[in-house]
Amino acid sequence: MLTIDDIRAVPLFATLADDELEHLAHTSADLHLCAGEFAVHEGGERALYAVLAGKMEVIKTFDGVERTLGWRLPGTIFGEVPLALSSPFPGAYRAAQPSRVMRVDARRYYALAAASPDVAVKMGALARERIGGLQGLSAEPPKIRVTMVGSRWDNACTALRQFLARNQISYDWIAPDAPELPARWPGTCPAEDDCPALRLVDGTVLNRPATRELAQLLGLQTQPRLAEYDTMIIGGGPAGLAAAVYGASEGLRTIVLEREAPGGQAGTSSRIENYLGFPNGVSGDELASRALQQARRLGAEILVTRSVARIDVEDRQVHLDGGDVIRAKTIILATGVTWRRLLIDGFDRFIGKGIYYGASRSEASATHGLDVYLIGGGNSAGQAALYFANHARMVTLLLRGDSLEKSMSRYLVEQLHGKSNVAVQLRSEVVGAYGDTHLSAIDVRDALSAQVRRRDCGGLFVFIGADAQTDWLPAEIARDARGYVLTGDDVVKAGRWSHSRDPYLLESSVPGVFACGDVRLSPVKRVASAVGEGSMAIAFAHKYLQQDGR
């Protein structure tokens, strides 16, 4: 319990009257932290902290790498910047050894500052000093972890750039014919046959590496640590990450398998504006990054560049590509969906060379001053159009339908109408693609006039709906004709349930195997519903482990 003497030992409070110190002692939290325990995480709500004993480490994550910014010793405080700016904590504070910390909530601090102007003056001076330090950090050039040389039209280069961007690894990309290449690539420049060539921060040079090899060298986890888990989550989109957060937080040994990078299709969204709790919207990769940090902090393992070869549902063994075998007491399918392909002459030749399914934010910078086209009228297409409008000269949405409002949220329609360089062309479709080494033009047919016009095209992005790719699942897991996993009542209606109890809402035809998010047969396809289903799947997995688990 805090005493007056404890608080008076902190210089900021030393001149306060005894009655004020007594009030602080009765209203402030007394935190006793073990080594490695956090007083507050990055992004935590504002409050004033004072170190009474021990040693606190100030840390912040840059490009996925944790960095120590400083230390707080007994008598010092932290939280002055969030209180001055009414903002969350820009960094985290972790006990470097057993420590004791006093926490004054924001409302109590502001009351104290109003009653004791001397405290407010000292806090203001300290906040200015610390903000200056943060400005110094912002002036430092970013530490590039990977330098890559490769052609924009090389599919291998495109795949590696997307992998690095989606895993939030800072990189510098240089074209092989760029005049600045000799200055930015020490030593002999890579030959064209060796590209894409990558140089890591430690000097390691890789020529046309596999993504798993690169992931391992960058410190991303690609191997499981255990032979058995309480729950295995296949897929690292919003549903899978939500399941990971709730599974790990409830003490389940939790592992997530992801083929590329956490975030799923939502991770490529430039702005999600209707997700609860983000009044100004949030980008898909930011949402994925926060969820990923949260899941890892709670103890979930996240494996990237790994996929499932097959599942043996009888003994709950999951065989990974590469030969690893993991036993999972429960399995949660959160694999999402993949974009449907257009069957148009010439398209396959330009995939990754001007034609893209979905939209990677890393491609936006390559569209500066160009005319780009997007096929589709859903929210994903609308979000991408708004984002590309900040780079391209003109963005045109092509729809077969006669109205954008039928398939897109109203807020997106209004924002698109407000962009002078975004056009919507209804009752239209692409019927041809042309170019030499990359896409340079497309043919667009107007359904009303049957006229076909050729348009110069600096990039074509396709959003025509998606299907579940679940052919790899065992026959015991029931699916509909389009591959979506049946759960709950749909399993019973299909005559695929033989257990003595009724299936749980998200349970597949195999007890203990659940499905959530877009891969599950459901009319609702939203980030919020995927997150909700991910958390619900853990609740049902708990029930299964208690009643039927082995």
Question: pLDDT per residue over 126-142, tens digit each?
Answer: 888 877 655 554 545 56
Using a pLDDT cut of 70, give the percent of the chain over it. Answer: 96
Nearest CA to 418 among 457, 385, 377, 456? 385
| Better-predicted residue by pLDDT, 271 or 419 | 419
As a whole number of angstroms, the distance between CA 51 and CA 6 comes to 10
Least confident of 120-124, 420-424, 506-510: 120-124
Q: What residues contact residue 329 under an 8 Å CB cut-off, 6+ apart?
A: 228, 229, 230, 231, 316, 512, 545, 549, 550
Q: Binning pLDDT at 50, 70 and 90, where does residue 332 land?
A: very high
DSSP H or E stretch at residue 36: none
The CATH number given to 4-139 is 2.60.120.10
User: What are the residue ranges of CATH 2.60.120.10 in the chain?
Assistant: 4-139
Q: Binning pLDDT at 50, 70 and 90, where does residue 366 land?
A: confident
Amino acid letter, 211: T
Decide which of 3.30.1330.200, 3.40.1800.10, 3.40.30.10, 3.90.700.10 is the CATH code for 146-217: 3.40.30.10
pLDDT at 75: 93
Amino acid letter, 178: A
Q: Say if CB 128 and CB 83 are below 8 A apart.
A: no
pLDDT at 63: 63
pLDDT at 248: 95
Q: Please give the order of strands across the beta sheet that includes 422-425.
A: 355-357, 460-462, 371-375, 394-398, 422-425
Q: Say if CB 355 and CB 378 are below 8 A apart.
A: no
HEC per residue, 368-417: CCCEEEEECCCHHHHHHHHHHCCCCCEEEEECCCCCCCCCCCHHHHHHHH
The yes-or-no verdict on residue 281 having pLDDT over 90 is no
The yes-or-no verdict on residue 198 having pLDDT over 60 is yes
Nearest CA to 214 among 322, 304, 296? 304
CATH class of the 228-337+468-547 domain in this structure: alpha beta
Q: Binning pLDDT at 50, 70 and 90, where does residue 52 land?
A: very high
Q: Binning pLDDT at 50, 70 and 90, where does residue 187 land?
A: confident
HEC per residue, 459-513: CEEECCCEECCCCCCCCCCCECCCCCECCCHHHHHCCCCCCCCCCCCCECCCCCE
| Better-predicted residue by pLDDT, 189 or 345 | 189
Q: Binning pLDDT at 50, 70 and 90, where does residue 64 land?
A: low
pLDDT digits (tens, 9 = 90+) for 13-28: 998 999 899 999 999 9
pLDDT at 362: 67
| Better-predicted residue by pLDDT, 280 or 85 | 85
pLDDT at 133: 59
User: What are the residue ranges of CATH 3.50.50.60 in the chain?
Assistant: 228-337+468-547, 347-465
Q: Binning pLDDT at 50, 70 and 90, where does residue 212 land?
A: very high
The first and second tokens of residue 484, run together, are 């979506």
Q: Say if CB 187 and CB 285 are below 8 A apart.
A: no
| Better-predicted residue by pLDDT, 468 or 265 | 468
CB contact burial 351-382 (16+ within 10 A = b; e otherwise): bbbbbbbbbbbbbbeebeebbbbbbbbbbbbb
The yes-or-no verdict on residue 407 having pLDDT over 80 is yes
Least confident of 285-294, 311-320, 361-370: 361-370
pLDDT at 135: 54
The mean pLDDT value of the chain amounts to 89
The yes-or-no verdict on residue 144 having pLDDT over 90 is no
pLDDT digits (tens, 9 = 90+) for 437-484: 899 999 999 998 989 999 999 999 998 888 898 999 999 999 999 999
As a whole number of angstroms, the distance between CA 65 and CA 84 comes to 27
- The topology (CATH level 3) of 347-465 is FAD/NAD(P)-binding domain (3.50.50)
Amino acid letter, 529: S
What does R_g of the chain's alpha carbons equal in angstroms? 27
Mean pLDDT, rounded, for 347-361 = 85
Mean pLDDT, rounded, for 72-84 = 91
pLDDT digits (tens, 9 = 90+) for 488-501: 999 999 999 988 89
